[in-house]
Amino acid sequence: MIRRKPAHFRSSLDLRDKVQVKVLRKRLKLSDEQFASVVRKSGNSISAITKEASTLK
């Protein structure tokens, strides 16, 4: 039986996908600790993470 990979929304971050996390963290130029605190505050929405990360700089 062929299983499809679950479809993900473009606007949300899958925290279980290490590649997505690494790419977004590098794009925002945040350390692991900073990225973790931003995600804790704002949730898994990429736009909310970006907005929250801009307040750190």
CA distances from 43 to 3, 4, 5 (A): 29, 26, 23
Assigned domain for 11 exists: no
Phi, psi of 56 (to 5 degrees): -75, -30
pTM for the model stands at 0.81
Q: What is the pLDDT of residue 5?
A: 72
Would residue 44 count as lying in a domain? yes
Task: Please check whether residue 52 lies inside any domain of the structure.
Answer: yes
Count of structural domains within the chain: 1
Domain that holds residue 40: 18-56
CA–CA dist 40, 2 (Å, integer)? 35
Q: How confident is the model over 3-40, as pLDDT tens digits? A: 877 766 789 999 999 999 999 999 999 999 999 999 99
Whether 27 is covered by a domain: the verdict is yes
56 vs 49: CA distance, rounded Å: 11
Q: Is the residue at 8 inside a domain?
A: no
